[in-house]
């Protein structure tokens, strides 16, 4: 007979570790299973870790965790072929405690975070794949692994196995993902001396900057690119929905090189040395793609539950928060010794009452709208660039005349009614 | 140096390949007869899939385990599993 745990957590990303940490802290016997060589070795993100949802697990983590830079400036570029319209905010309130968010490298961060769980009593086993959930009488009672005699039992199994979550699929909690529900992202980490980063991005040592790039960064396809500052390196990446990549017959690494060589981007990277190349899927189906998240003896958290707000590039915070809510539901279920779906549905209720599902609901039609109306990226970004160019080029034309020309530029090309329709549709999708 | 080819990119990343592939083409004839686009040879971020005239070559050793091929194969012709524990890609940084 194999050993039995209170909780088995599958996966050691932010969601799984948040859940494992809190369960162990409250005295539960927790096994965490990670398929990689170490936590973080299979995990990828652009690099923004949010303070609020992380400190709710580990207060003042910034004194201890391997972070890169606190982000003090967030820029947004609407980029055309040889120009860009910039919008952004820089605030030094974000440069001091308690901070707003940080750039991180996931391999060191996830490793540190999982170690915090181990210090609370989590038994962490690396290099082990959970091949399936053991189901008896419709109830999940444990997991099978790829180790010899690898069956382990638990009252609750937490699926924190990432975007592909083959386990959630095995249980029938969701169907196979579709190409328009995921974004394929590729990125490079590029080493650059700290002084160069500070100079190029107008930063002090302990300040970071993020740039989200729309438009020509994806050659007009539905997606975004990003450029984030680490201490001594930059993360540069680009992603589009897999369906867009298929329709446009794009090779993701070609798109990344296109971005790196773009005249708006290249000077920021010049002289840098690429040190790692990474590819990953981001669950971007939003509200409609969230699977069943609680069943008899099982809950689903983080990317496995498709909890990503693509519009605001929030995911790691939702992972942390969902892991915490799952832990709270499991701790209560343990007090009642009731691990039924009804009992674990406290997690589902908490999730739907929180910012997570409220935000996903707000943007539930956004991806669909922008995927099916490519004019937002294809037409309006270049038009906006042309308008700005016209307005700021001093050529003796009176400003009122310029304004007229700009408005005519927008409505003349598409027709006034179509512009109004497009504006209304976009507003409806994000309101 | 910044990279300019997929080969250079892949060279930066650490892999601990298993001896057995975790990616399986279910039926090579489906690739040949039913799939003119061969999307996997285009969107795979590691260029794992290469069409060799009559069969699909699968360079699983360089796989990033992203899952795109499983989701994007229009014929559902790719059996996709995780590599054995401790094997496959090993990200050191991000």
Question: Is residue B47 in some structural domain?
Answer: yes
User: Which of A57-71, A81-95, A400-414 has the lowest average pLDDT?
Assistant: A400-414
Q: What is the mean pLDDT of chain A?
A: 95
Q: Which of A36, A182, A277 sits opposite B13 (nearest CB)?
A: A277
What pLDDT shows up at residue A1? Answer: 44
Whether residue A45 lies within 8 A of chain B, CB to CB, comes out as yes
Q: Which residue has the higher pLDDT, A312 or A125?
A: A125
Give which of B74, B77, B91 to mutate to test A binding, by max A Cβ within 10 Å: B91
Question: Is residue B25 in some structural domain?
Answer: yes
Q: Report d(CA A416, CA A405) in Å as an integer.
A: 14
Question: Is residue B1 in some structural domain?
Answer: no
Size of interface A-B (CB pairs under 8 A): 143
What pLDDT shows up at residue A412? Answer: 81
Residue with tokens 């922008």: A370
What pLDDT shows up at residue B1? Answer: 64
| Percent of the residues in chain B that have a pLDDT greater than 90, as a whole number | 95
Q: What is the mean pLDDT of residues A341-352?
A: 98
What pLDDT shows up at residue A271? Answer: 97
Question: Is residue B85 in some structural domain?
Answer: yes
Per CB-CB distance under 8 Å, the chain B contacts of A169 are: none
Nearest to A94 by CA among A72, A126, A74, A76: A72
Question: Is residue B30 in some structural domain?
Answer: yes
Residue A425 clears pLDDT 50, i.e. is over it: yes
Residue A75, C-beta contacts closer than 8 angstroms, at least 6 positions apart: A86, A87, A88, A209, A210, A211, A212
Residue A182 clears pLDDT 50, i.e. is over it: yes
Residue with tokens 């009488």: A137
Q: Which residue has the higher pLDDT, A347 or A410?
A: A347
What pLDDT shows up at residue A411? Answer: 84
Flag if B2 and A279 touch (Cβ within 8 Å). Answer: no
Q: What is the CATH number of the domain that holds B15?
A: 3.30.70.20
Q: Which residue has the higher pLDDT, A427 or A102?
A: A102
Q: Report d(CA A229, CA A256) in Å as an integer.
A: 17
| Alpha-carbon gap: A137 to the closest alpha carbon of chain B (Å) | 26
pLDDT digit string (tens) for A110-138? 999 999 999 999 999 999 999 999 999 99
Instruction: For residue B82, give its domain range.
Output: 6-90
Per CB-CB distance under 8 Å, the chain B contacts of A45 are: 94
Q: Is the Cβ–Cβ distance between A25 and A331 less than 8 Å?
A: no
Question: Is residue B77 in some structural domain?
Answer: yes
Q: Which of B67, B71, B94 sits opposite A278 (nearest CB)?
A: B94
Q: What is the mean pLDDT of residues A298-316?
A: 95
| Percent of the residues in chain A that have a pLDDT greater than 90, as a whole number | 87
What pLDDT shows up at residue A2? Answer: 62
Interface ipTM: 0.97
Q: What is the mean pLDDT of residues A329-333?
A: 98
Q: How far is CA A221 from CA A338, A357, A378, in A?
A: 48, 26, 7
pLDDT band at B19 (very low <50, low <70, confident <90, very high): very high
Give which of A10, A69, A242 to mutate to test B binding, by max B Cβ within 10 Å: A242
Q: What is the mean pLDDT of residues A330-358?
A: 98
What pLDDT shows up at residue B46? Answer: 98
Per CB-CB distance under 8 Å, the chain A contacts of B64 are: 278-280
Cis ω for the linkage preceding A295 (within 30 of 0): no
Flag if A37 and B12 touch (Cβ within 8 Å). Answer: no
Per CB-CB distance under 8 Å, the chain A contacts of B83 are: 129
| Alpha-carbon gap: B64 to the closest alpha carbon of chain A (Å) | 6
Q: Chain A window 73-112: which residues touch B at a Cβ cutoff of 8 Å?
A: 105-108
Whether residue A169 lies within 8 A of chain B, CB to CB, comes out as no
Task: Give the chain A residue nearest B89 (alpha carbons).
Answer: A42
Q: How many structural domains are present in chain B?
A: 1
| Percent of the residues in chain A that have a pLDDT greater than 70, as a whole number | 100
Q: Report d(CA B44, CA B47) in Å as an integer.
A: 5
Whether residue A252 lies within 8 A of chain B, CB to CB, comes out as yes
What pLDDT shows up at residue A426? Answer: 87
Task: Give the chain B residue nearest A243 (alpha carbons).
Answer: B72
Please, what is the end-to-end C-alpha distance for chain B in angstroms?
19
Whether residue A266 lies within 8 A of chain B, CB to CB, comes out as no
Q: Which of A44, A188, A281 sits opposite B68 (nearest CB)?
A: A281
pLDDT band at A429 (very low <50, low <70, confident <90, very high): confident
Give which of A12, A129, A260 to mutate to test B binding, by max B Cβ within 10 Å: A129
Q: Which of B45, B65, B83 sits opposite A186 (nearest CB)?
A: B45
Q: How far is CA A56 from CA A76, A180, A324, in A?
A: 29, 33, 8
Flag if A277 and B70 touch (Cβ within 8 Å). Answer: no
Q: How many CB atoms lie within 10 A of CB A27?
A: 12
SS3 A133: strand
Q: Which of B45, B72, B85 sits opposite A146 (nearest CB)?
A: B85
Residue A260 clears pLDDT 70, i.e. is over it: yes
Question: Is residue B41 in some structural domain?
Answer: yes
What pLDDT shows up at residue A373? Answer: 85
Residue A366 clears pLDDT 90, i.e. is over it: no
Nearest to A307 by CA among A326, A328, A291: A291
Whether residue A40 lies within 8 A of chain B, CB to CB, comes out as yes
Residue A295 clears pLDDT 50, i.e. is over it: yes
User: Which of A82-91, A174-183, A212-221, A400-409 has the lowest average pLDDT?
Assistant: A400-409
What pLDDT shows up at residue A140? Answer: 98
Q: Is the Cβ–Cβ distance between B21 and B58 less than 8 Å?
A: yes
Record the tokens describing residue A130, joined without a space: 């959970």
Q: Which residue has the higher pLDDT, A7 or A312?
A: A7
């Amino acid at each position: 007979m194999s050993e039995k745990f209170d909780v088995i957590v599958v996966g050691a990303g932010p969601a799984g570790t948040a859940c494992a940490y809190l369960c162990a802290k409250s005295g539960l016997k927790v096994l965490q299973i990670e398929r990689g060589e170490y936590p973080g070795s299979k995990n990828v993100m652009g690099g923004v870790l949010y303070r609020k949802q992380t400190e709710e697990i580990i207060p003042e983590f910034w004194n201890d965790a391997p972070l890169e830079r606190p982000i003090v400036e967030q820029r947004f570029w609407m980029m055309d072929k040889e120009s860009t319209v910039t919008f952004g905010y820089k605030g030094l309130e974000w440069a001091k405690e308690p901070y707003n968010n940080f750039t991180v490298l996931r391999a060191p961060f996830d490793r540190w975070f999982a170690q915090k769980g181990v210090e609370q009593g989590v038994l962490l086993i690396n290099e082990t794949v959970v091949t399936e959930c053991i189901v008896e009488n419709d109830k999940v009672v444990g997991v099978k692994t790829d180790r010899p005699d690898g069956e382990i039992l638990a009252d609750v199994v937490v699926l924190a196995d990432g975007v592909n979550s083959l386990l959630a699929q095995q249980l029938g909690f969701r169907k196979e993902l579709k190409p328009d529900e995921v974004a394929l992202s590729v990125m490079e980490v590029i080493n650059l001396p700290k002084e160069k980063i500070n100079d190029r991005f107008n930063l002090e040592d302990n300040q970071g900057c993020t740039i989200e790039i729309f438009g020509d960064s994806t050659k007009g396809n539905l997606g975004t690119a990003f450029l984030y500052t680490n201490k001594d390196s930059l993360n540069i990446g680009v992603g589009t929905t897999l369906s867009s990549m298929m329709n446009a017959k794009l090779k993701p690494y070609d798109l990344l090189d296109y971005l790196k060589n773009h005249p708006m981007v290249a000077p920021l990277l010049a002289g840098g040395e690429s040190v790692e190349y990474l590819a990953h899927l981001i669950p971007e189906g939003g509200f409609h793609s969230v699977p069943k998240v609680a069943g008899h003896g099982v809950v689903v958290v983080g990317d496995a539950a498709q909890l990503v707000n693509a519009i605001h590039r929030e995911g790691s915070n939702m992972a942390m928060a969902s892991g915490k809510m799952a832990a709270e539901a499991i701790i209560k279920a343990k007090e009642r010794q009731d691990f039924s779906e009804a009992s674990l549905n406290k997690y589902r209720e908490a999730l739907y009452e929180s910012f997570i599902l409220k935000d996903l609901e707000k943007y539930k039609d956004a991806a669909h709208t922008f995927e099916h109306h490519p004019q937002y990226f294809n037409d309006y970004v270049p038009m906006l660039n042309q308008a700005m160019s016209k307005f700021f080029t001093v050529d003796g034309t009176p400003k009122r005349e310029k304004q007229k020309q700009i408005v005519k530029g927008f409505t003349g090309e598409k027709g006034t009614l179509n512009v109004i329709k497009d504006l209304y549709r976009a507003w409806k999708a994000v309101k | 140096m910044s990279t300019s080819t997929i080969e250079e990119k892949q060279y930066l990343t650490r892999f601990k390949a298993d001896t057995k592939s975790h990616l399986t083409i279910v039926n090579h004839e489906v690739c040949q007869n039913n799939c003119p686009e061969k999307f996997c040879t285009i969107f795979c971020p590691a260029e794992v899939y290469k069409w060799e005239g009559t069969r699909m070559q699968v360079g699983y050793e360089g796989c990033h385990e992203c899952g795109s091929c499983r989701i994007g194969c229009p014929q559902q012709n790719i059996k996709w599993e995780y590599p054995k524990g401790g094997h496959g890609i090993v990200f050191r940084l991000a």
